[in-house]
Amino acid sequence: MNIGDKVYLKAVGNMAVKYKDQLLIKESKITKVGRKYFEVDGVKFKMENKEQETGGYTADWKLYFSKQEILDEQEFQKLERDIRSKFNAFGKLDLTLDQLKRINEIINE
């Protein structure tokens, strides 16, 4: 990670509730880089796992390095919901996006 690298922030937690009518995604750049943390628009993220440093509170932002990562995550969640509704299943599925797409094609034929 370097200063000036482009990143994308997606609203989560309380920030997502505040903007519930719309998906809030901000394109931004890394402004500071340290040993343990880096900053984007004044928001600190941990270097080790890219999670927001919250000081014990709920995170407001989730960091991504491309907009496609966000779109893939949304598609995954939608397919997961659709498949669960077909099978009335709960819990986390241990499947990839491609596997979910193929399952979705099969069950919707």
pLDDT along the chain (109 residues), means of 10: 91 77 82 94 90 84 92 89 74 82 86
CA distance 46 to 107: 41
Q: Give me the pLDDT at residue 22, please.
A: 65
Token readout for 24 is 């809030």
Handedness of CA 93, 16, 85, 79 (dihedral sign): negative
Beta strands 43-46 and 37-40 are: antiparallel
**Which are the contacts of 51, defined by CB distance < 8 A and separation ≥ 6?**
45, 59, 62, 63
CA distance 76 to 16: 19
pTM: 0.72
